[in-house]
Chain A
Amino acid sequence: MREISYSEAIREAMCEEMRRDPTVFLMGEDVGVFGGVWGVSHDMLAEFGEERVRDTPISEIAIIGAGLGAAMMGMRPIAEIMFGDFLMCAGDQIVNQVAKARFMSGGKAQVPLTIRVTTGAPGSAAAQHSQSPESWFMNIPGLKIVVPATPADAKGLLKTAIRGEDPVIFLEHKMLYGEVGPVPEDENFVVPFGQANIIREGKDVTIVGVSIMVKKALQAADVLAKEGIEAEVIDVRTLVPLDRETLIRSVAKTNHVIIAHEAHKRAGPGAEIAAMLAEDAVEYLDGPIVRVAAKNVPLPYSPVLENYVLPNVNDIVEAAKSFWPGKA
């Protein structure tokens, strides 16, 4: 299969959906002439024109709110927010308007809105440009939270988001944009929500990865294999909906689980996953549920401090080894 980058995969999904469906359009800050600050929508303006690739003012409330209104009137907007940190500028629109429109209206409102946003620490971007906001919104019923970790998933999940009828927060990790991998060319290739992906099978410990931590979990699994520990690595793909069955089945097999994400540990996505496993899979567990996550402090600018605060491959390796203290 031909290989393209995560960034190109996202672009391809948008372009294909826009060719297929005239109601799909993209709007956001610098998505047109500039092609997106991360270059994701490069040259889309040339193909689709200003009507459908819309540069907006720096007005997150209006971007999301207009996305909501257009969606309710039958369009399928892709609203881009440059950094996940800025979602909070549009907090009310997302939490009180977008998420609840369908339910509050007794099902009258249809909200096929995709909110594309970057997540994660790109390195020394400091506290307002490095956050992983996924769990801020997991607590809000009505939103779907999608965290692609590979180019193929980025394409397939984005297509599901655009074609679906619900609002989706689609979180693109900045440090994955350059990641290259096989991506199907089939226009109807989609990846359904709520299906976690077992990327590597193993019998000793389950590592549940979120976004970039899937990559780090795979690296950790390589290290662990050399030490005789066989890790099973699962990419959650979507946090809402969450594929409970796949996670529970894996834990039933390995009896040990680590959850790895870049968001802060406290009330991060891992807290929900851990609670779910504690409720539904405790009988399978031979050890504590371990979360490998960012420390509970804002992301520092200094590379030394940032490395210290962010979770890394070694943290996963150490967490896994801690289940077998006797083992070298």
Chain B
Amino acid sequence: MSKYSQDFLCEVYRRMYLIREFELRSIEERRRGLIPGFIHSCVGQEATAVGACLALNQEDVITSTHRGHGHLLAKGGEPKFMMAELAARSSGYCRGRGGSLHIADFDLGILGANGIVGGGIPAAVGAALAFSMRKEKRVALSFFGDGATNQGSFHEAANLAGLWKLPVVFFCENNLYGEGTPQSKQAPICDLANRSASYCFPGVIVDGNDPIAVYEVTREAVERARRGEGPTFIEGKTYRFRGHYEGDPQVYRLPGEMEEWLKKDPILTFRKRLLDEGETEEAIREIEQQVQQKLDEAVAFATSSPVPQLEDALSGVYADTHDGKVF
């Protein structure tokens, strides 16, 4: 780790801590009634999001999932616009139309979270196709879960990307469950990175709770993509610490499993590593305080933002509404 600057390491921590605390705040705000829709939190999976996105440039793009808050924040998403979207306010990223499942920010290369498992993967391949056709050195990275690799959309997209050697990174967050069904009951293989073999590109497995390890494999995959050598499949082994959605009774967890994974909490372990690297407790506290302040501001911004105007429901369905005839 020491090959990285202290600034870089602090930035890794700052982003991971922001994600964790954003999730906990949004859960809390949902309980308090600010947020009307459901939330699939990524608590426990912060390291995959941060490690992967730190390996991307701003002009690179990502597609995300129903568990997307971490990906968006890691790619630079603004907490206050995200919180406002969760609160269904007109100042939110999608003007209150999309909610948690549909947040996007094209300026930051965030092509969108998604309500459909596997739904965003083909579009990432298409984005990579556009980059490749225009000879731009940009890369598309698609986040998806273990469960999504059982979708046809994944397999068709991976085959196409392998065939056309497109600059795309398939980033699978294997958190061992798709909703309430364990990964082992969803596929006859447990190392999902093996899936890439059928499409003739590399598949690598990484400790998904170690942001630096994730960063390193992603950087390699991104460089390979930029060189025109085609896709890589990365499987980050990780675990989600909360329910599939908030309110999930979680009857399906194996006894002792959570306790084991909690020992590998990406935030706590990385914090400790930072201290070991010589970062001071005060410096870390300062980062944490700055994040908390940002989140206070985000909640205040969301709370004080207006709800959308009714007519807003009728705009934005089409680019050209033909004087309203489309409705």
Contact = CB atoms under 8 A, between A and B. Distances in A.
B251 A302 contact: no
A128 B181 contact: no
B8 interface: no
29 contacts: A29-B178, A30-B180, A33-B251, A34-B252, A55-B181, A57-B150, A57-B178, A57-B186, A59-B151, A60-B151, A85-B116, A86-B116, A89-B152, A89-B153, A126-B97, A126-B99, A126-B101, A128-B119, A297-B313, A298-B97, A298-B317, A301-B88, A301-B94, A302-B88, A302-B89, A302-B97, A303-B36, A305-B308, A308-B310
Interface of A: 29-30, 32-34, 37, 55-61, 85-86, 89, 123-129, 295-298, 300-305, 308-309
Contacts of B151: 58-60, 89
Given A297-B314, A297-B327, A309-B313, A304 B37 contact: no
B178 A58 contact: yes
Interface size class of B (residues with CB under 8 A): 35 or more
B317 A301 contact: no
B44 interface: no
A130 B193 CA distance: 34
Interface of B: 36-38, 85, 88-89, 94, 96-99, 101-102, 114-119, 147-148, 150-153, 178-181, 185-187, 251-252, 307-308, 310, 312-314, 317, 326-327
What are the nearest 3 A-B pairs in CB distance? A301-B99, A128-B115, A34-B180
Contacts of B307: 302, 304
B98 A127 contact: yes
A250 B176 CA distance: 56
Given A58-B186, A59-B151, A304-B307, A34 B97 contact: no
B150 to A, nearest CB: 4
A49 B101 CA distance: 34
A58 B327 contact: no
A37 B88 CA distance: 24
Nearest to A122: B38
Contacts, number: 127
Contact of A124 (B88, B116, B185, B326): B88
Given A128-B115, A297-B314, 10 more contacts: A29-B181, A34-B252, A37-B180, A58-B118, A59-B151, A89-B152, A300-B97, A301-B88, A303-B36, A309-B313
A125 B37 contact: yes
Contacts of B181: 29-30, 32-34, 55, 57
Nearest to A82: B179
Contacts of A123: 36-37
Contacts of A30: 179-181
Contacts of A127: 97-98, 102, 115
Contact of B98 (A34, A58, A126, A303): A126
Nearest to A42: B251
Nearest to A125: B37
A304 B308 CA distance: 7
Nearest to B145: A58
Contacts of B187: 57
Contacts of A58: 117-118, 147-148, 150-151, 178, 186
Contacts of A85: 115-116
A129 B102 CA distance: 11
B101 A305 contact: no
A168 B89 CA distance: 40
Dominant SS at the B interface?
loop
A35 B189 CA distance: 24
Nearest to A58: B147
B278 to A, nearest CB: 45
A88 B38 CA distance: 22
Contacts of A33: 180-181, 251-252
Looking at A58, A59, A60, A297, the one whose CB has the most chain B CB atoms below 10 A away is A58
A128 B116 contact: yes
A123 B99 CA distance: 12
B251 to A, nearest CB: 7
A206 B123 CA distance: 47
Contacts of A305: 88, 96-97, 308, 310, 312-313
A48 B259 CA distance: 32
B54 to A, nearest CB: 29
A100 B52 CA distance: 46
A60 B152 CA distance: 9
Contacts of B317: 296-298
Contacts of B180: 30, 33-34, 37
Contacts of B252: 33-34
A52 to B, nearest CB: 16
Contacts of A308: 310, 313
Contacts of A29: 178-179, 181
Given A127-B102, A295-B313, A37 B179 contact: yes
